[in-house]
Amino acid sequence: MLKSKNKLKKKFHITCTAYDKSGRVIAIENNSYTDSCRLMRFFAKAVGDRTKNDQRKVYNHAEIKCIDRAIKLGKIVHMLKVERIENGLYQNAKPCYICMHAIKHFKIAKVIYSTTEGFKTL
């Protein structure tokens, strides 16, 4: 059987919640496979990800959308919680290197992400 060059990647539903220093929720966002934004392209380019530099292939990650929403609201993000749930169970949702670059850039103090064993902290 021949393998197709246009392999379909599995799409995950990832949710990111941003909290301020007092623990209040300031933004909740999901990843997108249709929309892109300048912030996602900026950080993809900053880390040298060529596939993300092509505007047709740049899709927003939940972490980037959440940070962008908080900035637009004039809020400072202290903590991000990133989670992925499939069939009622938590799955791995560790931020990618592009999102980690954005997290470091905006000096976000704490990141919690889901794993199959529960939650971990960066």
**Residue 80 forms part of a structural domain:** yes
Within a domain: residue 85? yes
4, part of any domain:
no
Residue 100: which pLDDT band, with cuts at 50, 70 and 90?
very high
Q: What is the pLDDT of residues 41-95, one digit of tens each?
A: 888 888 876 555 455 566 889 999 999 999 999 999 999 999 998 988 999 999 9
Would residue 23 count as lying in a domain? yes
**Alpha-carbon span 63 to 114, nearest angstrom:** 13
Within a domain: 66: yes
Give a yes or no: residue 2 inside a domain: no
Does any domain span residue 82? yes
Long-range CB contact pairs, 51-55, < 8 A, 24+: 52/98
Any domain includes 9: no
Q: What CATH number is associated with residue 66?
A: 3.40.140.10
Is pLDDT larger for residue 50 or for residue 101? 101
Q: How many domains is the chain built from?
A: 1
How confident is the prediction for the chain on average, in pLDDT? Answer: 85
Which residues face 84 on adjacent strands? 14, 91
Domain span at residue 103?
14-121
Q: Detail the DSSP E strand segments found in 52-105.
A: 79-86, 89-91
The model carries a pTM of 0.81
